[in-house]
Amino acid sequence: MQNGTSNLKDHLPGYRRLSRLPKQFLAISPFDGDCMPSRVRLFDPRSGRPTQPFPHRWNFEDPVRILETYFWNAEEEQGPGRHNRYLDVPGFAPVLVTRDPGMIRAIATATGDREGQFDRDTLPSVGIARATGTDTLLYANGAEWKKQRKIAACPFGKTTLFQPEQFCEFADTFRETVRGRIDVLRQHLAASGQETVDIPLEPEVKVVMLEMLTNNFFGAEISYEELREKYVPALERVIDHIVSDTVKNRLGVPWRKFPSLSDRIVRAKADDATFEELTQRILAPRGEKKALWKQFKSDAPDAKLISNLKVFLAGALEATTSYATWAISHLARHPDAQEKVFEEVKDIDVYTPEILAGAKYLRAVLDETLRLTPSLYFLPRRATADTWVTSADGRKMFIPWGTHLLLDVWHANRHEDHWGVEVSGYPANVFEPDRWRILAESGRAAKDTLHFGFGHGPRVCPGKHLGELEVGLTVGALVKTFRFRSELPQNPARAGVSTKPADGTRVCMSLRSP
């Protein structure tokens, strides 16, 4: 990565925006190099594309469709514009959207705290910041991000989680949580008097994931009933509000400061208070050094941790629920794959990192889930300087200062050029865990088969290892106990903070024979 030199324009407010105007009005690309993106028009009513290439109050609930708009008719191109597109509106910073895995990897790797590196773009996160605060690992950049990352690294790191004593403690409580919830499903099935029951599993999975976070990981003692009836519904509404607030709240005023003039505002304030209460309950065990708090080395006062704990609760609940429900949804539509997982886990009673690593087909199912249906469907970045980026295969792109970058993981992972028959033996848009065996046998390095399921580079998700443990245990235990299938062959995504199955992971379940 090579940065432009500093000069007068770096110190005059608005100079860069004004200097861009002539090229913007003449539609001259601000990018350069041998990996030049193609331009997308702001309005193009005759193109037939699904929506405008920017979020507004009538399309923000379908962000995947906005990303698709950038690549409308892109299959007709054969050059770098096939996978790299930009929008450049006079008076605004350019927007670059890439579904090129090589460029995604290069840009994500060059994101960090050093001068001239890419920042995480905060624009898509303003709703989260208004709900949780700006002093968080998610929202911070530069030196502040580095400080926040250091605090989070110890309890979430692989070396901590996988220490034998620490892991056994977590594994025991995780297993007990999952066993209890599976018993609830078993009782529900027995009470129905039927051999099968039709049920949306997302609500059940969400409670399991929140219980693992609050009780097992943070050491709180919150009942299943409270989690299901009080905290999960409140968190769901808070997260929905975060998404709409990001687009609709143009004034930037936190909604909790609005007067309580409507039922909607009253409900939102009540949900915010419930979120605050839950955060305080997981913070309380810190004084007794329970669970993760034994590994937490920071002497920061409790008040300094509140914002990050809120981000962790909302973010981890969204990400792990997405991950687990997509895996279940795929297995419900692929009974052969489900039976292969069962044969692998049927005799597993204790999940350790070694056993999970040895369950290779389950691992392939989870990797294929993250490839085809990642919860993080794009990674936001922002150029802090005029920057040259070079991919691993030597392609170069010049990205100007201030550019908003959307690293479109969702469409990169589904494109035939990157993951199709010629590359992996199977079409890119189908769920096929066996593709990972073929990729391994072909000798392709891990760096060439990145699905970016937890991000990539210095800002990779700090909860990656915890999420893998939670989802592996949950999916494995569910397959071991039940058979489940879906009556619908297709299951489109709904997307907000994360993606999830649009049908709420509705399956028809039956108990396996003992």
Please report, for the domain that includes residue 258, its CATH number: 1.10.630.10
**Are residue 223 and residue 207 in the same domain, yes or no?**
yes
**Are residue 237 and residue 288 in the same domain, yes or no?**
yes
Both tokens assigned to 248: 């609709």
**Are residue 85 and residue 196 in the same domain, yes or no?**
no
**Are residue 479 and residue 503 in the same domain, yes or no?**
yes
Distance between CA atoms of 368 and 431, rounded to whole angstroms? 7
Query: Does the residue 443 lie in any domain?
Result: no
Long-range residue pairs from 291-295, CB within 8 A, at least 24 positions apart, any chain: 291/169, 291/170, 291/216, 291/217, 291/218, 291/219, 292/155, 292/217, 292/218, 292/219, 293/155, 293/218, 293/219, 295/154, 295/155, 295/160, 295/166
Query: Does the residue 489 lie in any domain?
Result: yes
**Are residue 168 and residue 237 in the same domain, yes or no?**
yes
- Which of 126-140, 172-186, 265-279 comes out lowest in average pLDDT? 172-186
**Are residue 193 and residue 213 in the same domain, yes or no?**
yes
Q: Which residue range is the domain that position 289 belongs to?
A: 150-376+453-511
Both tokens assigned to 188: 């529900």
Q: Return the DSSP state at 32.
A: B
- Which of 20-34, 93-107, 241-255 comes out lowest in average pLDDT? 241-255
Both tokens assigned to 415: 């494109």
Query: Does the residue 304 lie in any domain?
Result: yes
45 contact partners, CB below 8 Å, separation of at least 6: none
**Are residue 257 and residue 322 in the same domain, yes or no?**
yes
Q: What's the whole-model pTM score? A: 0.93
**Are residue 393 and residue 341 in the same domain, yes or no?**
no
Confidence of residue 110 (pLDDT cuts 50, 70, 90): very high
- Which of 29-33, 51-55, 180-184, 214-218 comes out lowest in average pLDDT? 180-184
Angle between helices 464-481 and 164-192 (to 10 degrees): 40
Q: In 3D, which of 207, 245, 213, 246 has the Cα closest to residue 225?
A: 207
How many domains, the chain? Answer: 2
**Are residue 371 and residue 387 in the same domain, yes or no?**
no
Q: Is residue 98 within 8 Å of residue 59, measured between CB atoms?
A: no
Query: Does the residue 333 lie in any domain?
Result: yes
Q: Of the candidates 415, 432, 467, which is a domain's last residue?
A: 415
Whether the per-residue pLDDT at 1 is higher than 60: the answer is no
Q: Of the candidates 366, 391, 415, which is a domain's last residue?
A: 415
Query: Does the residue 291 lie in any domain?
Result: yes
- Most confident listed range (139-153, 215-229, 344-358): 215-229
Whether the per-residue pLDDT at 2 is higher than 50: the answer is no
Whether the per-residue pLDDT at 154 is higher than 70: the answer is no
**Are residue 70 and residue 179 in the same domain, yes or no?**
no
Query: Does the residue 434 lie in any domain?
Result: no
Q: Return the DSSP state at 37.
A: P
**Region 162-190 average pLDDT:** 73
- Show the CA angle centred on residue 258, arms to residues 255 and 261, nearest 5°: 120
Residue 118 in 3-state DSSP?
A: strand
Burial label for 470, CB within 10 Å (0-12, 13-18, 19+), is buried
CA dihedral over 251, 255, 258, 259, signed as positive or negative:
positive
Decide which of 396 and 442 is more confident.
Answer: 396
Query: Does the residue 429 lie in any domain?
Result: no
The secondary structure of 170-222 as a DSSP string is: HHHHHHHHHHHHHHHHHHHHHHHTSSEEEEE-HHHHHHHHHHIIIIIIT----
**Are residue 114 and residue 240 in the same domain, yes or no?**
no
For residue 5, the model assigns a pLDDT of 43
Q: Of the candidates 415, 442, 476, which is a domain's last residue?
A: 415
Query: Does the residue 8 lie in any domain?
Result: no
**Are residue 346 and residue 239 in the same domain, yes or no?**
yes
- Most confident listed range (120-134, 297-311, 476-490): 476-490
| Residue 461 annotated as binding site | yes
Q: What are phi and psi of 221, to 5 degrees?
A: -125, 90
